[in-house]
Amino acid sequence: MAASTATGKASAAATKARCDAMSAVLADSWWTVGLRGVLGILFGLICLLTPGLALEVFVILFAAYMLVDGVFAIASGIKAARNGERWGLLILEGIVDLAAGTVAVLWPAITLVALIWIVAIWAIVSGALMLGAAFTLNLDHGRWWLALGGIASLIFGVLLVIQPLIGAVVLTMWIGAYALVFGIFLLVLAFQLHSKKEERERKAPPAAKKA
In whole angstroms, what is the distance from residue 133 CA to residue 135 CA? 5
- Determine the distance from the C-alpha atom of residue 210 to the mean position of all C-alpha atoms in its chain, rounded to a whole number: 32
CB atoms under 10 Å from CB of 27, counted, come to 24
**For residues 161 and 107, which has the higher predicted lDDT (pLDDT)?**
161
Give phi and psi for 166, each to the nearest 5: -70, 160
The whole-angstrom separation of Cα 42 and Cα 84 is 34
* pLDDT level of residue 17 (50, 70, 90 thresholds): low
* Cα separation values, 153 from 9, 65, 130, Å: 35, 15, 9
90 SS3 class = helix
Confidence of residue 171 (pLDDT cuts 50, 70, 90): confident
The pTM (predicted TM-score) of the whole model is: 0.77
Grade residue 156 by pLDDT with cuts at 50, 70 and 90.
very high
DSSP state for residue 165 in the 8-state scheme: T
With pLDDT > 90 as the criterion, what percentage of the chain qualifies?
A: 22
